[in-house]
Amino acid sequence: MQFGKPNLPELPIKHFGIMDAGNRFRLEGIDSSRPVVLHQIPPKIRAESIRVDAEWTVVKRVADEEAARIRLLSALNKSDNNVIAHNCE
């Protein structure tokens, strides 16, 4: 699991997501054979297949994956929680 940012130099805001290879978050409906990024695109958190290096760049490794998983599951259950803006690893 790593923090990443999109390779979109024209993006006027800073945008980050958590990249997950192998479905380390253990989410249902995720294809573990492809890396995904989980990121906040209002109105919800989305999981999208990506190509690392082509579409997203690794910023740093998530130090505590289990704690990140717990926070993500909590955020997914709260419709008003903005996990990326309010709680970046």
**Could you read off the pLDDT of 27-57 as tens digits, one per residue?**
888 888 888 888 887 777 888 888 766 788 8
- Domain residues for the domain of 17 are 2-86
Q: How do beta strands 17-20 and 36-41 pair?
A: antiparallel
Phi, psi (degrees; rounded to nearest 5) at 10: -85, -5
pTM for the model: 0.71
Summarize the chain as % helix, strand, coil (round to 5).
20, 30, 50
Dihedral over alpha carbons 70, 71, 76, 80 (to 10 degrees): 150
Q: Give the count of domains, the chain.
A: 1
What percentage of the chain has pLDDT greater than the value 90?
8
Confidence of residue 79 (pLDDT cuts 50, 70, 90): low
